[in-house]
Chains A and B, each alone.
Chain A
Amino acid sequence: MKKRLQKLWDETVPQGGAAPCPDVNAVLRRVDAALDGTPRKSQRRRIVRRAVLLVAALLLLTVFSIAANGGEPPLRNVIDAFFWNSSDRELASSMVDANPVTVSDDQYTMTVTSSAADKNKVYLTLNVVPKNEAAKTRLQDECQKGEAPSILSFRTYFLGDSSGSEFSGINPETGIFESEISRQLLPWPFSRSISIRCSLMEEGLWLKLPVHPISSVRLRINATAPSGPSTQSESGGPVTIQRLVLSPMSVFVQYTASADEMGEPVLYFLWKDGTVNTLSELGGRMYSGSATISGTEFTAKYTYTFDGIQDLTRMEAVIYGGMAYPLDGGEPYAYDTSGLPFPFRLSGIEDESGEFFVPLSQLCQELGISENWDAESGTASITYRGRTCRCTAEDEQARLWNGELWVSSNTWVYANLRFGTRPVWERDSAEGSSKLVGMVFIP
């Protein structure tokens, strides 16, 4: 609705243009940017303090590791585990809390060796060290019970399940249980801490880890845009973003879509030097969180974790639906997204081992790149995003069918070309089972 002052302005001021009435959303954007975008002084001090502690902790850990394990490398921290693709290692390290938090009983010591959190998720590395041979044997027995060791449980406020990058298991060389865990958080300030328990330790013994989220930026987008193909339909349908919270570690998106089509928002990230990245390029290929269907509406609250710490001081805006939403709270402006990568869907076939394959030629066609086929050596190579991938018909991730090379969309493409993929299932009404028939690629 037009503001009253704008109406008065339009009717009375011969020059026309924008009336001086403030746009409430613009005021909110400025307030959000000021509160969320710039770390407050105390946070800056904390970051510096953490950096100093990190260096000290790393030194201690190195000395400890060398003494205890005869030259073993230091423990992996959350940067190695979750944000391994960080280009600015110093920046990434400044966001890690490397203060070990420990609980101990007669048999075991459980330690969170490093943690990091934004307002969307907490990431941590943890180990459980047995104190004697009997405890070591019991730990090994417990962990061999199933594929996913379940000696850990969590209490207090978190939502959703772990991300795909989790790892848990016993290090065969040391006998120590190691785990890399991420958990979705309830909105701050409900997640001031999380509590973790090891089922092998004394009853009632919980490790309480304080959560200190780094700054994030909340963007008020409230816009609808096409989603591209989804696992449910070729078009995907329109998607409306209600809320977007961006941090150096992840982006949280709350959006609605049609329950029949279940499209996913197509986001781009514009840097101050003019380059544009897709969500998949930044590593945000998988999501975690919750989704609900109410009537014909699908509502999702998903967090996409980047695979490297992003320097938001270098980022200009998030682009959605042809509009750029500046991180500094400035006025959104039109941005031409034609020519930028967009999701597409390919049909494929599943082989006897359960691997799913799509034709390389079609993949290249969708990407607008060419494949080089060397008939003599039977090798195909493609170059995309600065990476060259080569495969032969003898590859485990490639197959020849009807004279054409097909590549596995589950592993090969995902790992090398930085795509997000979503499986397309088709229900066989006669057999009542579902089979994989296609794959949505999110470049």
Chain B
Amino acid sequence: MNEYKIAEKLRRGNRSALEAAVRQLTPYVSTVIFRTLSGRACREDVEELTADVFLTLWNRAGEVDPRKGLRPWLSVVARNKAIDWQRTHHPCEPLPEDAADPSEGPEQRAVRRDWSARLWEAVDGLPEPDRSLFFRYYYEEEPLGEIAKALGLSQSAAKQKLFRGRKRLKTILSGGGETV
């Protein structure tokens, strides 16, 4: 089901359309949330916020213009939700580089939020087109062929860039500094 059909069905209160929207657009919504939070979020935060965005979509489906699809509307709502969330969730103190993996609990979530922010920053610091390639492939889960085409790359060149980029990110996140 494409996005426009989903929007139309949602306006008619079709619950299956909501499920289709969640399945198709969770990567997109979560990426907007990541971007707004500068990557500082753990899985549970993102799931909570993403679910909240789709619940708002369900309750206010009448506001969506089916001709424009769902993304523009979802993007605004996701951004606003993430800003509200940030206001009520005070960021923790940054953790040391060698922070151990503690048992499940708030500490572990804080560690994961911190590493998530570091990964986001590292990807954000990549030169173009690698930066777009990484965000669209890993966060938004777009098909590689489509991303490569949009960025003017061959699919094999895109794969090479992903491979080299991963190595670079690993070096950065391991505290080894960036090597070019």
- Residues of A whose CB lies within 8 Å of any CB of B are 3-5, 7-9, 11-24, 26-28, 30-31, 34-35, 189, 329
Residues on B with beta carbons closer than 8 Å to the beta carbon of A21? 27, 30, 43, 46, 139
Secondary structure at the B interface, as helix, strand, loop or mixed, is: helix
The answer to whether A31 and B54 have CB atoms under 8 Å apart is yes
Q: How far is the CB of A242 from chain B (nearest CB, A)?
A: 14
The answer to whether B19 and A11 have CB atoms under 8 Å apart is no
**Can you name 19 extra interface pairs (CB under 8 A) apart from A11-B170, A15-B111, A22-B43?**
A5-B139, A7-B138, A8-B119, A12-B173, A13-B118, A14-B173, A15-B112, A17-B111, A20-B34, A20-B113, A20-B116, A22-B47, A23-B47, A27-B22, A27-B47, A30-B48, A30-B51, A31-B51, A31-B58
Contact of A34 among B50, B55, B119 (CB under 8 A): B55
Contact of A35 among B58, B111, B122, B137 (CB under 8 A): B58
Q: How far is the CB of A120 from chain B (nearest CB, A)?
A: 16
A-B contact pairs, 8 of them (CB 8 A): A4-B137, A4-B141, A8-B169, A13-B119, A20-B112, A21-B27, A30-B47, A31-B58
The answer to whether A12 and B170 have CB atoms under 8 Å apart is yes
Q: Is B174 an interface residue when CB atoms closer than 8 A count as contact?
A: yes
Q: How far is the CB of A441 from chain B (nearest CB, A)?
A: 38
Q: How far is the CB of A94 from chain B (nearest CB, A)?
A: 25
Q: How far is the CB of A345 from chain B (nearest CB, A)?
A: 39
Task: Find residues 38-58 in chain B having any chain A CB closer than 8 Å to their own CB.
Answer: 39, 41-43, 45-48, 50-51, 54-55, 58
A11, A13, A14, A22: most-surrounded residue (chain B CB, <10 A):
A22
Contact of A15 among B58, B115, B170 (CB under 8 A): B115
Q: Is B18 an interface residue when CB atoms closer than 8 A count as contact?
A: yes
- Residues of B whose CB lies within 8 Å of any CB of A are 13, 15, 18-19, 22-23, 26-27, 30, 34, 39, 41-43, 45-48, 50-51, 54-55, 58, 99, 101, 108, 111-113, 115-116, 118-119, 122, 134, 137-139, 141, 166, 169-170, 173-174
Given the interface pairs A13-B119, A14-B173, A27-B47, the reply to whether A35 lies near B22 with Cβ below 8 Å is no
The chain A residue sitting closest to B95, CB to CB, is A15
Q: How far is the CB of A378 from chain B (nearest CB, A)?
A: 59
Residues on B with beta carbons closer than 8 Å to the beta carbon of A22? 26, 30, 43, 46-47, 50
Given the interface pairs A30-B51, A31-B51, A31-B55, the reply to whether A16 lies near B173 with Cβ below 8 Å is no
Q: How far is the CB of B159 from chain A (nearest CB, A)?
A: 13
In the complex, A8 Cα to B126 Cα: how many Å? 15
Residues on A with beta carbons closer than 8 Å to the beta carbon of B26? 22, 24, 27
Residues on B with beta carbons closer than 8 Å to the beta carbon of A11? 166, 170
The answer to whether B174 and A27 have CB atoms under 8 Å apart is no
In the complex, A44 Cα to B111 Cα: how many Å? 41
Q: How far is the CB of A7 from chain B (nearest CB, A)?
A: 8
In the complex, A30 Cα to B101 Cα: how many Å? 27
In the complex, A20 Cα to B48 Cα: how many Å? 12
Residues on B with beta carbons closer than 8 Å to the beta carbon of A8? 119, 134, 138, 166, 169
Given the interface pairs A15-B101, A18-B43, A20-B34, the reply to whether A27 lies near B173 with Cβ below 8 Å is no
Residues on B with beta carbons closer than 8 Å to the beta carbon of A5? 138-139
Q: How far is the CB of B179 from chain A (nearest CB, A)?
A: 14
In the complex, A17 Cα to B114 Cα: how many Å? 13
Q: How far is the CB of A160 from chain B (nearest CB, A)?
A: 22
Contact of A26 among B47, B116, B134 (CB under 8 A): B47
The answer to whether B41 and A20 have CB atoms under 8 Å apart is yes
